[in-house]
Structures are given as C-alpha cells and as structure tokens.
Amino acid sequence: MEKAWVVDFGSQYSLLIVRRIRELGVYAELLPWNKLPSFLPPSVKGLVFSGSYASVSKGPPLPEEWIGQRPILAICYSAQWIATKGGGSVVESHAREYGPALLELTAPSPLWKEVPSPTRVWMSHSDSITSLPHGSRPIARTQDIPYAAYELPEKHIYAVQFHPEVVHTEKGLILLRNFLYEICGFRGGWRPENEIEQIIASLQASMPEGRAVGAMSGGIDSTVAAILVHKAIGSRFQGFFIDTGLLRQGEAEEVMEAYAQVGLPVRRIRAHKPFFTALRGLTDPELKRKAVGRVFIEIFEDEARHLPEVRYLVQGTIYPDVVESGSGLSATIKSHHNVGGLPERLSLKLIEPLRLFFKDEVRALGRQLGLPERFLSRHPFPGPGLAVRIVGEVTPERVARLRQADAIFMQVLEEKGWLYRSWQAFAVLLPQRSVGVAGDQRQYGETIVLRAVNSTDGMTAEPTPLPHEILSEAARRILAQVADISRVVYDLSTKPPATIEWE
C-alpha cells in the first residue's frame, strides 16, 4: 500500500500532519527521528519532515541519506536545517514569531496550485532563514521573512517556514494535497473503512488457535476492536462487560443493547457489591482509582480463567496512545486502562487491532461495522466511572444521587439540542454542604457541579459556552427532583490548568 512517512523532530504538530494527510486520502505514519530504518521501502512515495521545539544549531539531524530519494515537504525547523546544510544561513532569534502572517507567493510552484496570493498562514518559529541553500529558489515571502518558502528542485525538496497542518493556515490542506498528489503522485483513495478486510485477515493470521477475551468498557474503541476480532475468529472470542455499579443511568442496558445489535458475544457481569465494598471508607482519589482497578482485574481474571484455552486479550489501543507511549513503535497499556497488568498475570498475548487508527477513523470503522449512530456519538466516560466524579466517599446512595442529577443534565442538553455540541458533559457530586430549604424544612444538602467541555482529544479543553437558560433549567430541575442537593454550580475551568474530571 502506498504511504507517506512523517518524520517527527519533536514538534507539537507532528501527529496532526499524519491526521491531515490521512484526511486527504493517503495513508501516513509517524516515525520518530531517532528510530528511522536505514532503508526507504518502495511503498513510501513521499516524506514530510516536521518542525521541532529545538533551534537548528542544537536540534536533531535530518536523515541526509534519504534526501533526494523521494519528494520531501520540509516544515519549519526542517526547512531551516536543510537551508544551513546546503550553504544557506539561518539567524537564531530569541523572539519567537508566533501567530498569523500573510503569505505572498513570489514564484509559481506545484505547491501553490489553487492557493491565492496573499493567503493567511500560521507561524511558530524562532529561527529564520536569511540566505537560501545552493540550487534553490524562493517561492513565497511574508512581511517579516523573505524566504517563507523555497524549492530545491534538484532534490525534490519543498520547504515552508509556516505550518500547513494547523487550521489557522487557510489553504493548508490544499497545500498538503498539492504536495501529495501533484508532487509525490499518490493515487489516494485511502479510507479506514477499506482496511476492514485486511485487518480481519491479519487478525486471523495472528490468532491461529485458542480463545480471545475482551474487557468491554462500553466505549467505542473496545467495542470496535472486539467486533473486528469477532469477525476474524468468530466464537473463539468472548467479551465481558463488568457492570461496576459506577456507570451512568441506563448505561449498562444501552451498551448491552448495542453489543446485541452487532451480534457481539458479550457477557454482562453484575458486580456492584464487590466494588462498593472495596470503596467503603475511601476518600483519597488515588486509592479509589486503585480499588476500582483492582476489583476489576480480579473479576475479569476470574471469568477468563473459567474459559478453556484463553490465549489473547483484545484491547482498544488507538494510534495516539501508541505514539504517546514514546517509541512510536510499541504501545504500553495506558495506565488508566482497567486491564493494566492482566496480560502478564494470565500470560496472554495482547491484540490491538486499532493501534494504527485515530479516534475519528475508529468511528468510521464502527459506522461501517454497523454500530448505531447514537452509540458512536457518546461522550467519553472514564474507566473508573462515577467513582472519580464523586468527591469523598463513594456509597450506593451518593452514586444514585449523582446518577439522577447527571441524567437530568443530559436530558436538558438533549432537549435543547446541545448534547452533541459539547465534547463531554457530566455532573459531579461534592460533599460540600450548604443550607437550603426543602418544603418548610431547612436542609444541608450536598453540591452538584455541572461540567461541559469542548475539546478535540481531551488533552486540552475549554468550558462549553452553554446558554444561561440551559444551565438554569438544569439547576432548577436538579434542585426540585434530587433529594439532599441544595446547590448547583457550573465549572468554568479550562484544561490546563484544571483537568476535565474532578479526581
């Protein structure tokens, strides 16, 4: 399969370049600069060299042996590195040029097909090119920098000092498309859905015999991973959905229904009691998380041991998890995954069919595999469940209180058409008591926090700007309907510095 390689020199945008290329119908992979193979496979038809946090004099080296072998799009740091190596020069400035700039195209280039001049681009660099490498020609400038882009035709290098991959570069996608299709000659047409057969075939090859088990969380990733494995090995797959008692109202039923709809063999294990027993008396967030994780593993292990010939554990690890784990080549289980430690304890081989896909691609796979739209658009939900949304001790009564308030908030959002305009929305229960009046009685009820955030990947977030009318309607209904709640507040914190969850 034809593909593009994106070499990461330590830019915060590297993964975004991969995403954008895939959006344009070309399969792309991210390779860290210090783990490059010596040989460029024929399937790699184009290279993108990323920016970097470092300045040219102190930063990582580019793979010189690859230069000239394939067309290269060099972004920012890489454009500067190539300039200095080829006899040009770069000045290091201490002031970072950061933000929008107007790019003026000064010479024709295949990169500029359908790009108007001037066009807005996004800059983020501190070094700047002051003279170009031998054999190159300038093709664009901005008011502040004379060589905002250049070409080195002999070596098929196209270099830009701005970031085409960020949305603030108006014609960034067109520029990337030009590089891929006009310059590298990709055929395109890559779509994650077209990979399904291939994924299933390779799963079959890697699981020749024995059973596979999956800890189903109700999330999209574990579900799509399980469907693929089930398609590959049929009844040799068995999923377990552990109902911890810490799920939202109606969630366990909804999730089991979705599994049934796609014919996935998943057994629901009702285990409220052991979770509540383990959580009794605990108020420290870390201890609560650990307790939930420990009980989860014990129950799952017990179930899996009752099945004969279990060899594999299916996990919904996705591409950003793999890349964030550091090497870019191997995944470590996310520490917050409930199954941490299980593969070793049961000597199971880890099966991760989604390790090369992004979240939105997993959604596309799920859609193709027949998962209902409602299931695909669910908000993310943390593994330890409502335990991390209840500050203080987790008791069945407090879980019931939070569930009811959370369901009311979701109902109001849905009625007003805001549920899917927010990336994640939920209620939190605080033990803070305050005075209120219920009927003729004074009461000292607990506090509900409403939280709704906008985000793309959960790494950063800002509060969803919910209309006041929605917030006050949710507050009114919660105060009227949920016993022992005296106050409702809205959380306006951004991430960073706050996190999305409260614990």
Output 277 or 499, the one with its CB closest to ligand XMP. 499
Spell out the residues 6+ positions from residue 421 whose beta carbon is closer than 8 angstroms to its own: 464
The contact mask relative to ligand XMP for 291-330 (x = CB under 6 A, - = no) is: ----------------------------------------
Q: Which of 2, 76, 151, 156 is catalytic?
A: 76
Measured CA to CA, the distance from residue 475 to residue 187 in angstroms comes to 54
Query: Minimal distance in Å, beta carbon 137 to ligand XMP?
Result: 46
Helix (H, G, I), strand (E, B) or coil at 428: strand
The distance of closest approach from Cβ of residue 6 to ligand XMP in the complex, given in angstroms and rounded to an integer, is: 25
Applying CB under 6 A, the span of 250-258, 305-313, 382-390, 471-479 interacting with ligand XMP comes to 382-390
Beta bridge partners of 215: 240
Q: Helices (DSSP H) in 208-345: which residue ranges?
A: 220-233, 251-261, 272-279, 285-305, 319-324, 342-345
Contact 267, 238 (CB under 8 A): yes
Q: Annotate 261-289 with b (16+ C-beta within 10 A) or e (fewer).
A: ebebebebeebeebbbebbeebeeeeebb
Q: Which helix (H) or strand (E) holds 450?
A: strand 441-454
- Closer by beta carbon to ligand XMP, 79 or else 220: 220
Q: What is the rounded distance in angstroms from the CA atom of residue 48 to the CA atom of residue 46?
A: 7
Q: Report the alpha-carbon distance of residue 353 to residue 365 in Å, rounded.
A: 11
CB-neighbour burial class of residue 194 (10 A; exposed 0-12, middle 13-18, buried 19+): exposed
CB of 501 to ligand XMP, least distance (A): 3
Residue 388 C-beta: closest distance to ligand XMP, Å: 6
Of residues 451 and 487, the one with the C-beta less far from ligand XMP: 451
Query: What is the identity of the amino acid at 385?
Result: G
* Per CB under 6 A, 265 contacts ligand XMP: no
Strands 237-243 and 149-152, bridge-based pairing: unpaired
**Residue number, 47 or 224, with CB nearest to ligand XMP:** 224
Nearer to ligand XMP, 336 or 476 (CB): 336
Q: Which of 2, 125, 156, 165 is catalytic?
A: 165
Stretch that binds ligand XMP, among 135-143, 256-264, 379-387, 404-412 (CB under 6 A): 379-387
What tokens appear for 52 in the block? 């970097």
Beta strands in 60-166 (DSSP E): 72-75, 89-105, 119-131, 137-141, 149-152, 157-160
| Residues 398-457, interacting with ligand XMP (CB under 6 A) | 424
Task: For residue 324, indicate whether it is catalytic.
Answer: no
Quick check: is 163 catalytic?
A: yes
Contacts of 252 (CB under 8 A, 6+ apart): 218, 241, 243, 268
- Residue of the chain from 443, 458, 484, 489 that contacts ligand XMP (CB under 6 A): 458
- Nearer Cβ to ligand XMP (190/381): 381
β-strands 157-160, 44-49 pairing = unpaired
**Binding residue (CB under 6 A) for ligand XMP from 138, 340, 341, 380:** 380
Q: Report which secondary-structure segment, H or E, holds 216.
A: strand 211-216
**Minimal distance in Å, beta carbon 301 to ligand XMP?**
19
Compare residues 71 and 383 and give the one whose CB is closer to ligand XMP. 383
Of these residues, 125, 156, 163, 230, which one is catalytic?
163
Residues 462-501 that bind ligand XMP (CB under 6 A): 495, 499-501
Q: Which stretch binds ligand XMP (CB under 6 A): 143-151, 200-208, 346-354, 377-385?
A: 377-385
> Cα–Cα–Cα angle for 90, 94, 95, nearest 5°?
105
Judge whether 76 counts as a catalytic residue. yes
Residue 335 CB, shortest distance to ligand XMP, in Å, is: 8
Task: Decide: is 383 part of the binding site for ligand XMP (CB under 6 A).
Answer: yes
| Helix, strand or coil, per DSSP, at residue 28 | strand
Q: How far is the CB of 161 from ligand XMP (least distance, A)?
A: 33
Shortest reach from residue 318's CB to ligand XMP, in Å: 12
What's the gap between Cα 59 and its chain centre? 27
According to the binding rule CB under 6 A, does residue 343 interact with ligand XMP? no
Residue closer to ligand XMP (CB basis): 15 or 500:
500
Binding residues with ligand XMP: total (CB under 6 A): 11
Coil, strand or helix: which one is 116? coil
Backbone phi and psi for residue 52, each to the nearest 5 degrees, phi listed first: -155, 160
Q: Which spans of this chain sit near ligand XMP (rule: CB under 6 A)? A: 336, 380, 382-384, 424, 458, 495, 499-501
| Residues with catalytic roles | 76, 163, 165
